[in-house]
Every structure is written in structure tokens, then in C-alpha cells.
Amino acid sequence: MNRKILLVTAVALVLGVGIGYWIAGDSGSTSDKKADAEPQPLFYRHPMDPTITSPVPAKGSMGMDYTPVYADDTPGPTGTVSIDPVVVQNIGVRTAQATREPLSHTVRAVGRIDFDERRIARLHPKIEGWIEELYIDTTGTQVEEDTMLLSVYSPRLVASQQEYVLALRNYQTLKNSSVKDIRSGAAELVQSSRARLELFDVPEHQIRELEESLVPQKSLHIHSPSAGIVMRIGARQGQHVSPSTELYMIADLSQVWVYADIFEYELPWVKVGDDVEMMLAALPGRVFRGQLDYVYPYAETRTRTVKVRLAFDNSELLLKPEMFADVVIRTSMQDDAIVIPSEAIVRSGVQDQVFIVRERGKFEPRPVTLGIESEGRVTVLEGLDEGDTVVTSAQFLIDSESKLREAAAKMTDTDEVP
């Protein structure tokens, strides 16, 4: 009986020891798994000076804990910054995506209305003489093309008329001559005499009257070469005039020019043919539409601006020279451009850069080449791809940390210099 009790006790003891070892082994493997699941820091870095490290946890002179550095903290490109997501949220980091979209710009300037130089006529006589009568004697008068402006007496013109009359009579006598040279000579004399009158700007109706009456007329009528407004009268009745005398200045105001000055940084936007809108204080609520006609090839010395010329239709004669106006140039869109907010750019004066988000809490500095900028958006010519996420706020704090990391990397570089 005692022997059976001893045998049962021994078996129970062996089973208990086996189960204990099994439980202990299982808990040990679980602990190992947990230990394996938790990443172990490679070393600890001083929070204020990255060049100071420690293999074990430590505190700085100000009581700040050293920051652990783990094996999966891959440095990435020089200057890459890793920030705890909680800190990212606390410092207010915002981001935006680089998108491919058209970018347009609106140029605003003050314009001055002026004459269209191509529509100004300055009238001079072709002969010397005296003004017999002024038919249009006040400035500001609207005249039509071929309106009679004045009459001029010129002895030379009277002599030319007499030559033409003699040539006509001579032709009437010799046109039936049997000698061909005589007939052709008489006809050529008529043609040359008439051409001389035409060169003196004798109007067609006076030449016809002379051909019908064969009586020279005392004065020459001068007509308006085009429709427009009489802007200036250079002579009065009875005054002696010569080819150097400007009798009239007539401006056609059916189209006007507007001059505006734009700044140098706006030059890449504007080009000939852009649509333009204009508003005047004298005509509130009225919008005039025209086009950019010319960009002058030089800058103004004092204002450092470039003058542009705008063309507007003025068939209603509401736009008057020397009036000031507000102009808006609707520039053409820049298509197929990668665009980001302007606030994402860190401008150092040497190389513009942005910070892109590589992954959560990790930011990489990226140098970029910028294009044109408009209304808080800027095009990126090189350095970014569509879909890249860039930092748009608190990037200066990240930039400071990036510069510190970059400097630390240079100081701790162990590569031997040959």
C-alpha cells in the first residue's frame, strides 16, 4: 500500500515539473516575442546638440531627456527631418498637393487715353499763297472726308491752270492731224499739265470745271483727307502760307490708344492680343473692351515700368484724349503647369526650396525652379512632380531643424578626406 502511494506521488511530481517547465517556456517565448515586437533604440541623442550621443538613456545639463534613435529611422536625403506626429500637429503643419492646372493672371494699371497716331492727318499746302476764305474756322468741329476746309490764292497755281487750258486748246486743234507725232505730243502735253494740277492737290471737281469752262480759277479749294475732329488750325483768313505751314490737324477718334505702365515682374504675362477691359470715372458702370496692341521694347528710367499700348473702339466718341482710366489686362493662361501655393516656398536668396512629405512625420527639403506667380499660386518648372505633398505652414521651423540636421551630418561625417 505504501509502495503504491509513493509511486502515485512520484508520477504527480514528474507531471507537475513538466507542466511548470512548459508554462515557463511558453511565457518566456511570449516575453521574447513582445521584446522582439518593441524596437530597441540604437543610441540616444542630445535634444539640443545632435553631435552628442549616448549608448544608454541620459539627461542633458538642463534636465532634458536624450532622444532615442531607432534602426528604422533611415536618414534619407541630407536635411530630412523626422518629427513626432503629435509635435507636427502642435506646431500647426499644413500641407497641399502639387497639381497640374492652368494658371492665369490679371494685370491692373492706370491708363491714359490718347490719339491713335495712325489716324492723325496734318494738312499742309503744296504751294505758296494767301488764304482767301476759311470754311472750317473752329477747333473741335467734326468733319467728314472730302469736306471743303478753305480756299487759297496762288499765282503759281493760276499759271498752272493757264498752261492746262492752253494744252487743251492745242489738243483740240491738233488731235486730227495726219502726223502721228503731232497728235501724240499734244496729248502728252495735256496729260503732263493735268498731272501738275493733281500734284498741287487741286480737287477733281475744280479740274472738271476748268476743262468745261477753259477759264482759270483764282483760288484752290483744300478738302479734308479723312473724317475726324479738327484739333488745330494753323492759319487764318488773309494769312500767307507755304508748304511748311500746318493748316489743320485732324484726328479720327473712332479708335483711340490707351497707354499704361506695368511692372517688370508682370512682363512674362502680357503679350500682344490679350483682352483688355477699361473703366472710367466719367462713365461709372460702363466697361470698354479692347486689345493689347503693343509692348514697348524699353523701360522707363524713373518708374522702372514698361509702357504698353492698348487699342479701343470709340465709335460713340465717349473716350476723350487725356482722360485717365482703370485698365485690366486679362492675360492668357499658362497651361499644363505644376502649381503649388506660394506660401510653400522657402526663399533663401540662393536656392528656392520646398519641404515634401515623404511619410508621416518625415519631411524632405527639395530645391525647386520656379516659374511665374499669380494670386498666391506659383508654377514649378523643376523639382516637383504632380501629386507631391508640400508643407505650406510652419516650414520655417522645419527648415531650421533641417539646417541643424544637415550641419550635424557634416560635422559627424567620418569619411576620410584623401
pLDDT at 142: 93
Q: How many helices (H) and strands (E) does the chain have?
A: 6, 26
User: Yes or no: is domain 106-116+252-332 CATH 2.40.30.170?
Assistant: yes
pLDDT tens figures, 372-382: 777 788 888 88
pLDDT tens figures, 63-115: 778 777 655 554 556 667 777 777 777 778 888 888 888 777 789 999 999 99
pLDDT tens figures, 17-49: 454 544 445 544 444 444 455 667 767 777 766
The whole-chain average pLDDT of the chain stands at 82
pLDDT for 231 beyond 80? yes
On whether the CB atoms of residues 60 and 45 are closer than 8 A, the answer is no
Segment holding 198, helix H or strand E: helix 180-199
On whether the CB atoms of residues 344 and 395 are closer than 8 A, the answer is yes
Euclidean distance between CA atoms 380 and 334, whole angstroms: 12
pLDDT at 404: 64
pLDDT for 15 beyond 70? no
Query: Which CATH fold topology does 81-102+335-411 show?
Result: 2.40.420
Euclidean distance between CA atoms 139 and 276, whole angstroms: 32
What is the torsion angle, in degrees rounded to the nearest 10, for the CA atoms of residue 333, residue 335, residue 337 and residue 342?
Answer: 10
* Whether the domain at 81-102+335-411 and the domain at 106-116+252-332 fall into the same CATH topology: no
pLDDT tens figures, 44-66: 777 766 667 788 888 877 777 87
pLDDT at 22: 46
| Residue 293 C-alpha from the chain's centroid | 14
pLDDT at 37: 53
pLDDT at 416: 41
pLDDT at 343: 86
Q: What are the boundaries of each domain within the chain?
A: 1-34, 41-70, 81-102+335-411, 106-116+252-332, 125-246
Euclidean distance between CA atoms 355 and 358, whole angstroms: 9
Angle at 97 between CA 91 and CA 99, to 5 degrees: 155
